[in-house]
Amino acid sequence: MPIRSFDLNIEEVQENWEVEHAIREVISNALDEQLISQTAEISITKDDQGDWHIRDYGRGLQIEHFTLNENKEKLDAPTGVIGKFGVGLKDALATFSRRGIEILICSRFGTYRLKQEHKYGFDDIVTLHVEYDDSPIDIQGTEFVMRVSDADMEKAKSLFLKFSKEGVLETNDYGQILRRNGSVARVYILGVFASEEPNFLFSYNITSLTESMKKKLNRERLNVGRATYADRIKAILRNAKSKSVEALLIEQVEKRASGEQADEMAWIEISQMALNLMHQQRRVTYFTEEEIQSRPNILDSVKSDGYDVVVITDQQKAKLEAQVLTGGPQVRTVETYVHEYNSSFEYNFVGIGKLSQQERRIYEYTPKILALVGLSLNRIPEIRISETMRITTDDTQGVWDSSIPAIVIKRSKLSSLVGYAATLLHEVGHATTGAVDATREFESVLTGYLGRTSQAAIKS
């Protein structure tokens, strides 16, 4: 059968495409065919004459594949197929033609070359045609042969995750989290490069597209904006389970103070996830900036109990509190810590008559100790002695417990007059003024007590 021309109906398209973008489409089609036909890995090689060969081992390209038509087979194909709409190949061929690159395509159905000629019946219109020779060829699959530079081929290959050096940290139903390689992170969609993200923590490969993504993705797959893929990346992260990903997210929480957080942490649901992970794995208590300033006594107590203090925003705190109301996990905010602290006290009160003679002798100094600071028993709450204080720690020696209400002092403090007097006056300061630890107000109270006891000592 004679060689025939097939009109591609192309005059000039995709002016912004470079040679690597055209090669990308050829590689994409080869990868799709490999996946759909479940055949061997594609090959990309260079021959001794300097021509590059891109070959798949599938069913072979046919002349009808050059028509502009939605590809139902690819639309119905399993996850991972790159092309869908049958326009990529024609755009690639137009780019090759415009750049003056000769191309030969071979399959068992024949050979295909490009040429410019008049559109049938219109001598004033020249369009791109495929010159088709249907003489059978003994070849499995489809092979594209092109004379392109090594640099262009490397650029094209760099647009595919398959040829990158970014290792996979995790794969889930929505895509892959990749260890970024180099100074910038990359976002791939179905294994094809879509965008660079200089301040992302990870690179990503989105393998499950939302309907919104499909509508937003432009035909060229160039300059894809973050708004197109942000929701899918969030879904990939929210479903992450690997310890390596969790560890890196937790590390990001600690970088807030230095201003070095990755952009993923600006998404409230991702920062909330990181805060929950940190709470599960470390002894932390979350404070807002305002709470750091207004509740120094709680801050001091948190540190004394061995918790790390992590500063969060008001918005993050609101999200952490809201998740509890919907049945989610409880993390340790300031309020949670205070509740835990109060619940940690378990008293075993001892009557005065049960004290030893030595303990009772020290206890009976109570009126004289109070008198040193100008107080009497009838001006302070009840004083009670307990064998135990906090069940979670044994370093609490006294407390003003407004819920009883009483000043509670641990029995062991009655072994020393100095220890008992110091603890008593400390808790009396809380009970009579309402001032809390680690505040200027409470320091003023204790300073006043020092002055009065010094005056009493000098007079005596």
**Domain boundary assignment for the chain:** 4-157, 161-238, 255-342, 349-459
Q: Calculate ∠ Cα 220-18-99, nearest 5°.
A: 125
- pLDDT for 455 equals 93
- pLDDT for 220 equals 60
CA–CA separation, 142 and 110 (whole Å): 10
Contact (Cβ atoms closer than 8 angstroms) between residue 233 and residue 187: yes
Output the 3-class SS for the chain: CCCEEEECCCCCCCCCCCHHHHHHHHHHHHHHHHHHHCCCCCEEEECCCCCEEEEECCCCCCHHHHCCCCCHHHHCCCCCCCCCCCCHHHHHHHHHHHCCCCEEEEECCEEEEEEEEEECCEEEEEEEEEEEECCCCCCCCEEEEECCCHHHHHHHHCCEHHHCCCCEEEEECCEEEECCCCCCEEEEECCEEEEEECCCCCEEEECCCCHHHHHHCCCCCCCCCHHHHHHHHHHHHHCCCCHHHHHHHHHHHCCCCCCCCCHHHHCHHHHHHHHHHHHHHCCEEEEEHHHHHHCHHHHHHHHHCCCEEEEECHHHHHHHHHHHHCCCCCCCEHHHHHHHHHHCECCCEECHHHCCHHHHHHHCCHHHHHHHCCCCHHHCCCEEEECCCECCCCCCCEEEECCCCEEEEEHHHHHCHHHHHHHHHHHHHHHHHCCCCCCHHHHHHHHHHHHHHHHHHHHC
The DSSP bridge pattern shows strands 43-46 and 52-56 to be antiparallel
Topology agreement, domain 4-157 and domain 349-459: no
**Which amino acid would we find at residue 99?**
R
- pLDDT for 191 equals 93
What residues have CB less than 8 Å from 219, skipping those under 6 apart? 85, 87, 91
Residue 395 sits at φ, ψ, to 5 deg, of -100, 0
- pLDDT for 362 equals 97
Handedness of CA 207, 213, 215, 218 (dihedral sign): negative
Regarding the domain delimited by 349-459, which CATH topology (the fold level of the hierarchy) does it fall under?
A: Zincin-like (3.30.2010)
CA–CA separation, 296 and 314 (whole Å): 18
- pLDDT for 392 equals 80
CATH 1.10.3470 fits 4-157, yes or no: no
- pLDDT for 64 equals 86
For the whole model, what pTM was predicted?
0.80
Q: Which long-range contacts (CB under 8 A, 24 or more apart) does 425-432 make?
A: 425/369, 425/373, 425/449, 426/398, 427/398, 427/399, 427/400, 428/370, 428/373, 428/375, 428/380, 430/400, 431/380, 431/381, 431/400, 431/405, 431/407, 432/375, 432/379, 432/380
Mean pLDDT of successive 10-residue stretches along the chain, which has 460 residues: 64 73 94 94 96 97 78 56 66 90 95 83 77 92 97 96 93 96 92 94 94 74 84 97 96 90 96 97 96 94 94 95 94 96 94 95 96 93 95 86 94 96 96 91 94 90
